[in-house]
Amino acid sequence: MKKKITLIFVPLFLLLLALHSFSQQSEVQPVEFKKISDRLYEIVGGRGANGGAYIGDNAVLIIDAKMDKKSVDQVIAGIKKITDHPIKYLVNTHSDGDHVRGNQYFPETVTFISHENCRKELFHPGRDGTPSEWNTPELAPFLPSLTFRDKMDVHLGTKRVELWYFGIGHTTGDTVIYFPEEKTAFIGDQIFLTRPQIIHSYKGGNSFEHVKTLAKMLDTLDAERFCSGHSEIADQEAIRNHIYQMKKQQEKVKALIEKGKSLEEIKSEFEENEARLIESIYNEIKSSKG
């Protein structure tokens, strides 16, 4: 009998141990507010991308929405600890789920803002062709109701928040939110520091436009600090280096195409995790010649 019990309990114990360590690994970090100034915070943790919050004279503006109710509730609770002002605006930096799915968990009284192309992209099918959930009427109140083309200012009492569009890159509708007093820009997913850049070709994103768009941003804004969806806060030097690295990758792909190499041969000349970016660059070069 004793032996039988051991036979059952040892595998069960091992299974529970495995499940426990799996849940530890996939555990989501709680939402955390990182102070940049008395008014400006970067919001990290939770499910979804890093975002931000700006406390104006009379209202709060949020940057990006996380992607589940638990994370949004933590964002709202975090704001309440800092100020009594209501959340009035939420700017979506672009159309990716980890930046927009949480819109639906904010109060309907919040005004959602994005670039006009971002709003259009929200209705597009996913990469695998699945229809967008934004086509369901229940989500309509959480779509961006204010859109802009080149630039828009949002005034929160005496404070001004600048929304800029510098062109196509990661997607076709990436907004840069600039805070002049803090010399800080929130740039969504227009830079990744610890992994290769994602270019959503299926949404119309383009790597050659991406480097031009980032250069235009550096030329236009007097920013010292760049907050993004999935990386640590970056400085101008990091953005310049990112542009340089991508140009180098583009030149290498171009040279290999001229040598008559196939896509598979070209991919093998790069790191494995660069494959998707290299394929985008390859297709962009091919289509511009065709």
Secondary structure (3-state) at 111: strand
In the complex with Zn ion, the residue whose CB is nearer, 42 or 96, is 96
Q: Does 205 bind Zn ion (CB under 5 A)?
A: no
Candidate residues 42, 64, 98, 209; the one interacting with Zn ion per rule CB under 5 A: 98
- The verdict on 49 binding Zn ion (CB under 5 A) reads yes
Instruction: Check: CB of residue 156 under 8 Å from CB of residue 59.
Output: yes
Q: Is 189 in the site for Zn ion (CB under 5 A)?
A: yes
Q: Does 51 bind Zn ion (CB under 5 A)?
A: no
Q: State the nearest-atom distance from the C-beta of 101 to Zn ion, in Å.
A: 11
Cα–Cα distances in Å, from 270 out to 138, 194, 238, 257?
A: 44, 16, 21, 14
Helix axes 275-289, 207-220, angle to 10 degrees: 100
Reduce the DSSP state of residue 188 to 3 states and report it. Answer: coil
Which listed range, 6-14, 92-100, 122-130, 202-210, lies at the site for Zn ion (CB under 5 A)?
A: 92-100
Within 229-258, the residues that bind Zn ion by CB under 5 A are: 229
For residues 98 and 121, which CB has a smaller minimum distance to Zn ion in the complex? 98
* Identity of the residue, 132 or 220, whose beta carbon is nearer to Zn ion in the bound complex: 132
Judged by beta carbon, residue 55 or residue 72, the one nearer Zn ion is: 72
What does 3-23 look like in DSSP terms, one character per residue? HHHHHHHHHHHHHHHHHHHHH
First-to-last alpha carbon distance for the chain, in angstroms, is: 75
Helix (H) and strand (E) counts for the chain? 8, 12
Nearer to Zn ion, 96 or 121 (CB): 96
Q: Interface with Zn ion includes 284 (CB under 5 A)?
A: no
Question: Which chain residues interact with Zn ion by CB under 5 A?
Answer: 49, 96, 98, 189, 229
